[in-house]
Amino acid sequence: MEYKKSTIENLREALDNNEVTGEELFNEAKKLAEESQKDINAFVTILDKYKSRPKKKGILTDIPYSLKDNFSTTGILTTASSNILKNYVPVYDATVYKKLKDAGAVLVGKTVLDELAMGGTGTTGHTGVVLNPWDKTRLIGGSSAGSCASVAAGIVPFSIGSDTGDSVRKPASYGGVVGFKPTYGRISRYGLFAFASSLDHVALLTRSVKDAAIVTNVLKGEDPLDMTSLKDDGLDYTLNLDKSIKGKKFFYIKEACTFDKKSDILESTLNEFNKLLDKIRSLGATVDEVSIDKDLLNAIYPSYMVISCAEATSNNSNLTGIPFGNRIDGSTYEEIMFNTRTEGFSELIKRRFVIGSYVLQKENQDKLFLNACRVRRMIVDKMHELFKTYDALIMPASGGIAPKLGEASDVLSDEYLILENHMAIGNFGGFPSITLPYGFVNSMPIGVNITSNILKDSELLNIAKQIEDLLGYIGQVAGDKNV
């Protein structure tokens, strides 16, 4: 058994056959994590000791994993990759962390994110840039940067991240791994540091669709501590994976995939995508091109910015350095708040907060914040309409491969592309959405994204598994060249 390439399934088998112990797995993971730090810098904290105290032994018992550093973990430093929380040690457990503890999964480390999860590059964490294990001159993307890198590098077979716009599904594409965001409310958000509450999802990164099903099985269910959590659907997601997708109907959005001018990379990516669609058709499924009002599609990104910044400004108003956080002294409470927040947040965060607060101002709220919320409903209504006909939306997760360090920034510009931002649709409507590797461009992995109607998590995983079987990237880690 080669640990780095092993899926949860493989590790479970090895553990059950006593080929390896949980402690040995942890030590291996810890060693890999420590060795990887200087190259990819995925971790804020790497844990010292193997610890597994399952309430009941189960499929995840003794399986190592990493957790994005914006989940509350009692007694373990949790920074959200921000200076303002650089010393914060939580006193309560996030529901997902508690469930994983109870399942006996072994936490290896807390992973780097874009500061407060607000960003898509993996470059803005207070402990530095996270790099792509496939090519250390490239980014892994964010905000779940360290989570994705730790799975892509084979340090852990799964990681828990969060996805507000595409924060798990975009890095998954750049890292050649599976990124899955179930239906909003399927997994409790209690203990996930809020970025934009109405868009935030707990999401996961794995190296196979089946592993995504296994982990989701453990995490899902209603939580009395999260009023937006859903009643458990009672399904075992691993049992529905092998059904044929013959007769399933897919669509992709024409306007997102049509360009006047194409870079080489975009061209190759779209070629790979078309090849994939043909393969899917060969399974007996149909794929249609669907046209959606371009003005509406163009509105996705600004609307996402407006809504997420607005909610983020409010959600992060608790960071004042008073009951917790890195207090910078002052002679009045206002000065304390000022100094703490001025020093604690990076520039990008401050810009986002000002935008968020501006759009909520009384005189701007209708034209900005509420209009963005209107766009949200229009997009979501359109999707619900399409899901009456179609089983899933299938799209390239990105128009290209992981950008080089220095190529991408989080400064807002006019030059956004629908193709780079369409995955926010999944957050707008809470739709289950998964990214999985479907090929390579310039020796870098690319990902395809599939999105289904709400509550259809099991059906989506089935579709994803069938496509994964078609492509054969199960257990892929950085370094595997499969061009």
Partner 1 sequence: MYKVVIGLEVHCEVLTNTKNFSSAKNTYTNIPNINVMPVDLGLPGILPVVNEEACRKALKTAMALNCETPDEIIFDRKNYYYPDLPKGYQITQVTKPFGRNGHVTFLVNGKEKTVDIHQLHLEEDTASLEHYSNYSLIDYNRSGIPLMEIVTEPCIYSADEAVAFLETLRNIFLYLGVSEAKSDKGQMRCDVNISLMKDTDKVLGTKVEMKNINAFNSVKEAINYEIKRQSEILDKGEKVIQETRRIDEDGKTYSMREKVDAVDYKYFVEPNLAPVKITKEYKDTVRKEIPELEYSRIKRYLELNINLEDALTLAKDKDISNYFDEVIKNTKDINLAVNYLTIVILGSLNKLNININDLFITPTMLANVINLVKENEVSNQLAKNIIYEAMEKNIDPLEIIKSKNIKQISDEGELRNIVKKIIDESPEQVKEYLNGKEMVANFLVGKVMSATNKQANPAASLKLIKEELERMR
Partner 2 sequence: MIDKKMLENYAEKLMFRMKDDELDTLESEFDTILKQMKLIENIKGIEKVDPMTFPFITYEAKLRSDLESSDSLSVDEVVSNTKHVVKDQIKVPKVVE
Contact mark string toward partner 1, 207..236, x via CB under 8 A: -----------------xxxxx--------
Using an 8 Å Cβ cutoff, are 114 and 123 in contact? yes
Residue 354 binds partner 1, judged by CB under 8 A: no
Q: Least distance from C-beta 451 to partner 1, angstroms?
A: 21
Q: Which of 271, 361, 443, 482 binds partner 1 (CB under 8 A)?
A: 361
- In sequence order, the β-bridge partners of residue 68 are 111
Two tokens, residue 214: 């296994």
Two tokens, residue 45: 């904290």
Name residues contacting partner 1, limited to 25-44 (CB under 8 A). none
Return the beta strands (E) in 242-382 as ranges.
249-253, 286-290
Q: Which of 360, 368, 383, 395 binds partner 1 (CB under 8 A)?
A: 360
From the list partner 2, partner 1, none, pick the one residue 449 interacts with, judged by a Cβ distance below 5 to 8 Å according to partner type.
none
Residue 339 binds partner 1, judged by CB under 8 A: no
Q: Least distance from C-beta 286 to partner 2, angstroms?
A: 26
From the list partner 1, partner 2, none, pick the one residue 412 interacts with, judged by a Cβ distance below 5 to 8 Å according to partner type.
partner 2
Two tokens, residue 30: 């810890």
Name residues contacting partner 1, limited to 135-174 (CB under 8 A). none
CB-count exposure of residue 319 (10 Å: 0-12, 13-18, 19+):
buried
Residue 428 binds partner 1, judged by CB under 8 A: no
Coarse DSSP helix, strand, coil percentages of the chain, rounded to the nearest 5 percent? 40, 15, 45
Name residues contacting partner 2, limited to 431-470 (CB under 8 A). 454
Using an 8 Å Cβ cutoff, are 7 and 476 in contact? no
Count of residues making up the chain: 483
- In sequence order, the β-bridge partners of residue 111 are 43, 68
User: Can you spell out the DSSP letters for 420-467?
Assistant: HHTTHHHHHHT--EEEEEEEEETTEEEEEEEE--TT-HHHHHHHHHHH
Main-chain dihedrals φ then ψ at residue 324, nearest 5 degrees: -160, 175
Name residues contacting partner 2, limited to 383-402 (CB under 8 A). none
Contact mark string toward partner 2, 32..71, x via CB under 8 A: ----------------------------------------
Other Cβ atoms less than 10 A from the Cβ of 87: the count is: 12
Q: Least distance from C-beta 343 to partner 1, angstroms?
A: 16
Using an 8 Å Cβ cutoff, are 102 and 133 in contact? no
Name residues contacting partner 2, limited to 93-112 (CB under 8 A). none
* Alpha carbon distance 291, 346 (integer Å): 40
Q: Least distance from C-beta 210 to partner 2, angstroms?
A: 27
Contact mark string toward partner 1, 185..204, x via CB under 8 A: ----xxxxxx-xxx------
Residue 412 binds partner 1, judged by CB under 8 A: no
Name residues contacting partner 1, limited to 88-117 (CB under 8 A). 88, 90-92, 94
Query: What amino acid positions are annotated as catalytic residues?
Result: 68, 143, 167
From the list partner 2, partner 1, none, pick the one residue 355 interacts with, judged by a Cβ distance below 5 to 8 Å according to partner type.
partner 2
Residue 178 binds partner 2, judged by CB under 8 A: no
Q: Least distance from C-beta 220 to partner 2, angstroms?
A: 15
Contact mark string toward partner 2, 132..161, x via CB under 8 A: ------------------------------
Using an 8 Å Cβ cutoff, are 187 and 127 in contact? no
**Measured from the CB atom, is 60 or 307 closer to partner 1?**
307
End-to-end CA distance of the chain: 24
Using an 8 Å Cβ cutoff, are 50 and 26 in contact? yes
* Alpha carbon distance 289, 250 (integer Å): 9
Query: How many residues sit in the footprint of partner 1 (CB under 8 A)?
Result: 45
Two tokens, residue 116: 């407060």
Instruction: Give the rounded distance of the alpha carbon of 246 from its chain centre.
Output: 29
**Measured from the CB atom, is 64 or 185 closer to partner 1?**
185
Q: Least distance from C-beta 315 to partner 1, angstroms?
A: 9
Applying CB under 8 A, the span of 240-248, 292-300, 312-320, 390-398 interacting with partner 1 comes to 312-320
Which among 309, 410, 413 is positioned nearest to 359, based on CA atoms?
A: 309
Q: Least distance from C-beta 265 to partner 1, angstroms?
A: 37
From the list partner 1, partner 2, none, pick the one residue 425 interacts with, judged by a Cβ distance below 5 to 8 Å according to partner type.
none
Main-chain dihedrals φ then ψ at residue 374, nearest 5 degrees: -70, -45
Residue 409 binds partner 1, judged by CB under 8 A: no
**Measured from the CB atom, is 282 or 332 closer to partner 2?**
332
Q: Least distance from C-beta 359 to partner 2, angstroms?
A: 8
Using an 8 Å Cβ cutoff, are 283 and 246 in contact? yes
* Alpha carbon distance 270, 279 (integer Å): 14
Q: Which helix (H) or strand (E) holds 303?
A: helix 300-315
Q: Which positions lie near partner 1, rule CB under 8 A?
A: 70-72, 78, 80, 85, 88, 90-92, 94, 189-194, 196-198, 224-228, 310-311, 313-314, 316-320, 322-324, 333, 337, 357, 360-362, 365, 369
